[in-house]
Amino acid sequence: MKPEELIDFAKKNHVKIVDFRFTDMPGAWQHVSIPLEELAEGLFEEGVGFDGSSIRGFQKIYESDMLLIPDPATAFLDPFTAIPTLAMICNLKDPVTLEMYSRDPRYVAQKAQTWLLSTGIADAAYFGPEAEFYILDDVRFDQSYNFGYYYLDSKEGFWSSGREEHPNLGYKVRYKEGYVPVPPMDSYQDLRSQMLLNMKKMGIEAEVHHHEVGTAGQAEIDIRYGPLLQTADRLMQFKYVVKNTARNHGKTVTFMPKPIFMDNGSGMHTHQSLFKGGRNLFFEAGTYGDISQLASYYIGGLIHHARSLMALCAPTTNSYRRLVAGYEAPVNLIYSQRNRSACIRIPMYSREEGTKRIEFRPPDPSCNPYLALSAMLMAGLDGVQNRITPPPPIDKNLYDLEPEEKAQVKGIPSSLEEALDALEADHDYLLRGDVFTTDVIETWLTYKRQREVEEVRCRPHPWEFALYFDV
């Protein structure tokens, strides 16, 4: 919609508040609101001011003023506010230079799309993320000088099978056996359906929802694939819908990659493909997995840069509680058709050209989708441009390989610290086309090292008391 059409739409829908949303560097939505009367056509050019020094990863206090520039194409009616509210996703500008803000994650995604076109390789990159999450009943956590703990609870959790619940009706999901049972074992069918319907109200197409492997309400809702920027926008909306729908039903949701010990973590397997002139460049009938040579090079780029990609695609210390052997964790830098123990899988559900894609499995939903999807595209394109051949595919359970075979398979980093070191050493492919800037990379590395790695490193872990209290 054009600005004037959007203003007319807001009035017809009795909107009272207009909400401007943007994403900080780690990947959380922030917002500023104005009354509808303040929404004029000029605002779409002039923007709305806010304090950038109070946002993680953004400005210093002496350069704090920034502008939000709303994108009318992203407008939606918020289904959760009591007062009728129209929301829009924004880009960021510097109010002095009027240039786009280089640390704005959404701007990085826009530049990635522009770079793709400039290469001539393809005219569209499609992404289909599968963001998993846990639905919980109670969450408590705290840490101080002399204590530190977390406590999660779910009526569906198998640990509560012996608890007095007046009455306890059983049907608790066994550990690692939660994949697609029907109700009453799956107690969240209606809640996930409501999440899906709320997404539909916001214009997000969801293709499927189901219970995931983990106990305690692990879930997955898959949104329809789309172009990079649109998909990143929709992932931000997706998280907003899932969290607020759960809250309205007295539940809470976490996208932490590994909130529960000894059960499956939550990943964000990301399907991707390149198209040109309406033709899927990843498809070639009769080859291994029916993938083209171009797709093979794209896979080669993802595998070649996978260790540095993890700093953006699995960007939390908690991510590496999930990325360990077992628990279906995709830690092996190899590709395969159908094999879910490989870091890249070629789905074989369909042999049609339009659906051929590859699935990169290590990312998780703690990532900033604008940065993660852009980084994956840049790695894949680097593989195509430099004809990077991936290691031969392996169609075996990679956890059962003989030692000699296993020694030939490289793995992803085992910690966030290791992933950040890999990004520092290998990020030239991200700088092409000025998609990521040196400043963005350095800001990311500094923030993650100082605010996350060091903060976790200097605190005692609860299990250390079991290991070492009696030394």
What CATH number has the domain bearing residue 86? 3.10.20.70
Instruction: Give the max Cα distance, the chain.
Output: 71
**Does 112 reside within a domain?**
no
Model confidence pLDDT, tens digit, residues 30-63:
999 999 999 999 999 999 999 999 999 998 877 7
**Residues labelled catalytic:** 51, 130, 132, 212, 220, 269, 340, 359, 361
**Does 107 reside within a domain?**
no
**Does 416 reside within a domain?**
yes
**Does 108 reside within a domain?**
no
**Does 355 reside within a domain?**
yes
- What span, in angstroms and rounded, lies between the C-alpha atoms of 430 and 380? 11
Query: 93 pLDDT band (50/70/90 cuts)?
Result: very high
**Does 50 reside within a domain?**
yes
pLDDT given for residue 325 in this prediction: 77
- Is 128 in the same domain as 56? no
- Is 229 in the same domain as 264? yes
- What span, in angstroms and rounded, lies between the C-alpha atoms of 338 and 341? 9
- Is 86 in the same domain as 135? no
Domain count, the chain: 2
Average pLDDT over the chain, rounded to an integer: 95
Could you list the residue range(s) of the whole structural domain that residue 12 is in? Answer: 3-101
Q: For 167-181, 397-411, 413-427, 434-448, which range has the lowest pLDDT when averaged over its residues?
A: 397-411
- Is 214 in the same domain as 72? no
- Is 258 in the same domain as 360? yes
* In the predicted structure, residue 219 carries a pLDDT above the cut 70: yes
- Is 166 in the same domain as 315? yes
- Is 126 in the same domain as 54? no
- Is 123 in the same domain as 263? yes
Q: For 53-67, 89-103, 247-261, which range has the lowest pLDDT when averaged over its residues?
A: 53-67
- Is 290 in the same domain as 352? yes
Q: Compute φ and ψ for 109, nearest 5 degrees.
A: -65, -40
Residue 153 forms beta bridges with which residues? 138
- Is 381 in the same domain as 460? yes
* In the predicted structure, residue 327 carries a pLDDT above the cut 70: no
**Does 109 reside within a domain?**
no
* In the predicted structure, residue 465 carries a pLDDT above the cut 70: yes
Nearest Cα neighbor of 296 from 386, 208, 364 is 386
- Is 315 in the same domain as 420? yes
Q: Point out the domain boundary residue: 101, 134, 158.
A: 101
pLDDT given for residue 299 in this prediction: 98
- Is 135 in the same domain as 87? no
User: Could you give the count of Cα atoms lying within 13 Å of 434 in the half-sphere of its Cβ?
Assistant: 5
Buried b (16+ CB within 10 A) or exposed e, 251-288: bbbbbbbbbbeebbbbbbbbbbbbbeeeebbbbbeeee
What CATH number has the domain bearing residue 433? 3.30.590.10
Range 104-124 average pLDDT:
98
**Does 440 reside within a domain?**
yes
Question: Please, what is the Cα angle at 277 between 272 and 280, to 5 degrees?
Answer: 35
Q: Point out the domain boundary residue: 101, 130, 162.
A: 101
